[in-house]
Homo-oligomer: A and B are copies of this chain.
Amino acid sequence: MAAPILSERELEFMLYEMFDAESLTSRERYTDHSRETFTAAINTAKTVAEKYFLPIRQKVDTQQPTFDGKKVSMLPEIKTALDAVIDAGLAAPSSDYDMGGMQLPLTVASAAACYLSAAGSTTLGYISLTNANCNLIEAYGTQDQIERFVHPMREGRFAGTMAMTEPSAGSGLADLTTTATQDENGNYRIKGNKIFISGGDHDLNDNIIHLVLARVKGAPKGVKGISLFIVPKLMVNDDGSLGDKNEVELAGLFHKMGGRGQTSCALSFGEQDGAIGYLVGEENKGLAYMFHMMNEARIMVGTSAAATALTGFQYSLDYSKERPQGRLMASKDPMAAPVNIIEHPDVRRMLLTQKAYAEGAYALCLLGSQLADDEKTAPTEKERVAASTLLDFLTPMIKSWPSEYGPKANYLAIQVLGGHGYINEHPVEMFYRDNRLNPIHEGTTGIQSLDLLGRKVPMKNFAGYKAILAEMAGTIEVASQFEELQGVAKELADAVKQLQATTATVLGATKSQNIDLVFSNSVSYLDMFGHIVIAWLWLKQGMVANAALKEAPHKEDEDFYKGKMQAMQYFYRSELPQVYHWSNLVSSIDSTSFDMHADWF
């Protein structure tokens, strides 16, 4: 079976027909680029994915990293694959030329990363984390810190991590207890334990640069007393050469259900004198800096979840076209040859659901990338601020919608393959396991829902909230002019109206009712908002497809666009109506969960 990793036609549609990536070439930062250079970068990613990621996919999953008490051992093929990414310039293709990057728009970089992520999200994870680490130090670190740590990371010699979680402080960062004490040289000494540190130790790079959250002595309690430190595994001398071992010890590896190629580590910092750490920016502002990294990481998580959903869809689609089994109900002839299973309507339902989820999720992620590009390079300050506001607003949905619906898509990929989907001869069971991490890390779905309703909606006098409503209203207005889209445009308009009423009700309730009660249905609010945003993005896809179908496209394109129209219809018929149910729960301030006592379970 040689199922494609992703559909090339789909990526092309997303980039150039939905998000008009080509128009970015008119911006100063991207003047060296053209659709040709974009395509070249994506094709390179595809080649690296096919040549280095795909062949080791199963091996990476079944032969987990091991720790003998001294050293972590990894499959050497992972190193080869990572080197191929770096050699191809794909490690951080959107970073500045003078940082070794290609200044590729994030929209295009996301498409390239989608290939790598779909073929090996675990393997790519090392690079993505290192990038996020670099971006943070570039934004808030000193010139010395950039030269000493970022340059070698950008070159692929060092790796980077983010070390936040502690045994007693997972989602609750306020309670983290790792300490930092300034020594006589002005450096900080870090002491504490961190867990679930992705890429926390391994033998893939010469050095590992940890970004560690810790409390300086006397700092305020809670999240306002958290500072951020660079803590290298090996010290880095002024000339860039490697020095002594810092006090960072691997206490153990966790054994995960999926994402098995990426180590998940328990790290112990400073068991003796304290690990040497370098303060990033100012004391007590660590969480704000980390959020710089975390917002990026959240979009990365969404994209990875979408990529895994897309590739599972492709795989099960390919299988369904080649696997004969059973007959249609209308066929009463037991002598007739079995049909390929894609002919069974229920299999088509499962494929269409995957298509609606995976392509909808990916559109949302690409929108996030486009907004990140606009935030940086849109022509006017006003546009840049608007993009920043909208991106900030959408981030909890970009993180959580693909993370929740990606696994559901992978569930259906397994179901399409039946018993064959449950065994490791096919990768869909691995996709299902890999994708299950995404609703957990970088802020659980519950955390995202509190962020959306509690912070993002009222933020800046509802600026982000109003912006997305305005975007949707604009699309509805245009779509309503087309007969083929009037129905769904009306359905979206109704759902948006319901969303506005729900939002007003729930925020109104916070003034008079227990805040924990009002927020107890925040996940349903996130579900509702997420589904409406995805429905909006499906309408936008439908608009593109509808227009293209009127241009008498050739057969293959005609099929493609009809598939888009059908997936849009699927989302509107089978998914969008659920928002009314969620709205009822939220608007009525349903107290069922809130009222449940611990003792009653």
CB contacts (< 8 Å) of A585 on chain B: these are 573-574
Known: A577-B581, A590-B573, A594-B345. A566 touches B600 (CB 8 A): yes
Closest Cβ of chain B to A317, distance in Å, is 5
Given A317-B601, A352-B592, A562-B600, also A436-B432 (CB < 8 A):
yes
Q: Which of A562-601 contact B (CB under 8 A)?
A: 562-563, 566, 569-570, 573-574, 577-578, 581, 584-585, 590, 592-601
Q: How far is the CA of A258 from the CA of B581 in the complex (A)?
A: 34
* In the complex, A171 has a CB within 8 A of chain B: yes
Q: Evaluate whether A424 and B255 lie within 8 angstroms (CB atoms) in the complex, with A445-B415, A559-B600, A570-B592 already known.
A: yes
Q: A419-B165, A581-B581 are in contact. Are A425 and B254 (CB under 8 A)?
A: yes
Interface residues of A in 342-360 (CB under 8 A from B): 342-349, 351-352, 355
Nearest B residue to A221 by beta-carbon distance? Answer: B334
A369–B94 CA distance with the chains assembled, in angstroms: 61
Q: Does A326 contact B (CB under 8 A)?
A: yes
Inter-subunit contact A440/B415 (CB<8 Å): yes
Q: Whole-angstrom distance between the alpha carbons of A577 and B582 in the complex?
A: 10
Contact A329-B418, Cβ < 8 Å, known A257-B429, A577-B581, A592-B574: no
> Which of A347, A418, A569 neighbours the largest number of chain B CB atoms within 10 Å of its CB?
A418
Do the beta carbons of B515 and A343 come within 8 Å of each other? Answer: no
Nearest-neighbor residue (CB-CB) of A600 within chain B: B563
| Chain B: minimal CB distance from A78 (Å) | 20
A583 to B330 Cα, complex, angstroms? 23
Is B515 touching A330 in the complex (CB atoms < 8 A)? yes
Distance of A317 Cα from B600 Cα, bound (Å): 11
Q: Quick check: A423 and B520 within 8 Å, CB to CB?
A: no
Q: How far is the CB of A3 from chain B (nearest CB, A)?
A: 12
Residue of B nearest to A594 (CB): B345
Smallest beta-carbon distance A506→chain B, Å: 13
Q: How many copies does the complex hold?
A: 2
State how many angstroms separate the Cβ of A518 from the closest Cβ of chain B.
9
A422 CB contacts on chain B under 8 angstroms: 256-258, 436-437, 440
A319 CB to closest chain B CB (Å) equals 12
Contacting residues of chain A (216-233) with chain B, CB-CB under 8 angstroms: 220-224
Q: When chains A and B are docked, how far (Å) is the Cα of A421 from the Cα of B256?
A: 9
Question: 0/1 per residue, A312-333, Cβ < 8 Å to B?
Answer: 0000010001001111111000
Using a CB-CB cutoff of 8 Å, which residues 490-534 of chain A contact chain B? 514-517, 519-523
Q: Determine whether A174 belongs to the interface, using a CB cutoff of 8 Å to chain B.
A: yes
A523, B346: Cβ atoms under 8 Å?
yes
Known interface pairs A172-B325, A351-B601; A449-B346 also in contact (CB < 8 Å): yes
A367 at the interface (CB under 8 A from B): no
Known: A171-B418, A578-B581. A598 touches B257 (CB 8 A): no
A170 at the interface (CB under 8 A from B): yes
Residue of B330, B342, B514, B584 near A330 (CB, 8 A) is B514
**Which of A172, A325, A345, A420: most chain B CB closer than 10 A?**
A345
A35: interface (CB < 8 Å): no
List residues of chain B with CB within 8 A of the CB of A597: 559, 562-563
The reply to whether B573 and A446 form a contact with Cβ atoms under 8 Å apart is no
In this complex, the interface size class of chain A, counting residues with CB under 8 Å from chain B, is 35 or more
Q: What CA separation (Å) do A578 and B439 show in the bound complex?
A: 23
**Residue-wise interface mask of A (433-468) relative to B, using a CB-CB cutoff of 8 A (1 in contact, 0 not):** 100110111001110011000100000000000000
Contact A444 B424 (CB under 8 A): no
User: Chain B residues near A563 (CB, 8 Å)?
Assistant: 596-597, 600-601
Counting CB contacts under 8 A, is A175 at the interface? yes
Closest to A349 in B: B593
Q: Tell me which residues across on chain B come within 8 A of A523, comparing CB atoms.
A: 346, 349
On whether the beta carbons of B255 and A522 are closer than 8 Å, the reply is: no
A169 at the interface (CB under 8 A from B): yes
Give the residues in chain B near A570, CB-CB below 8 Å.
Answer: 592-593, 596
Cross-chain contact B573 with A345 (CB below 8 angstroms): no
Is A19 in contact with chain B by the CB < 8 A criterion? no
Q: Which residue in chain B gives the minimum CB-CB distance to A510?
A: B329
CA distance in complex: A574, B328 (Å)? 36
| Bound CA–CA A397/B437 (angstroms) | 30
B residues less than 8 Å from A441 (CB atoms): 419
Q: Is A55 an interface residue (CB 8 A)?
A: no
Q: Given A255-B424, A600-B563, A601-B317, A346–B419 Cβ distance below 8 Å?
A: no
Give the shortest distance, in Å, between A421 (CB) and chain B (any CB).
Answer: 7
Q: Is A538 interfacial (CB-CB < 8 Å)?
A: no
Instruction: Tell me if A593 and B436 are in contact (CB < 8 A).
Output: no
Q: Does any Cβ of B come within 8 Å of A196's Cβ?
A: yes
Asked whether A348 and B559 contact (CB < 8 A) given A326-B171, A415-B439, the answer is no
The answer, yes or no, to whether A338 is at the interface (CB within 8 Å) is: yes
Q: Does A335 contact B (CB under 8 A)?
A: yes
Whether, in the assembled complex, A284 has its beta carbon less than 8 Å from a beta carbon of chain B, the answer is no
A421 to B440, CA, bound (A): 9
Given contacts A348-B593, A595-B566, is CB(A175)–CB(B325) below 8 Å?
A: yes
User: Which chain B positions have C-beta within 8 A of A334?
Assistant: 174, 220-224
Query: Does any Cβ of B come within 8 Å of A13's Cβ?
Result: no
The 27 sampled A-B contact pairs (Cβ below 8 Å) are A168-B325, A170-B418, A195-B419, A221-B334, A223-B334, A255-B423, A255-B425, A257-B422, A257-B423, A257-B429, A264-B423, A329-B515, A329-B516, A342-B601, A347-B446, A348-B594, A349-B521, A349-B593, A351-B596, A355-B601, A407-B411, A559-B599, A566-B600, A570-B593, A573-B585, A573-B592, A577-B584
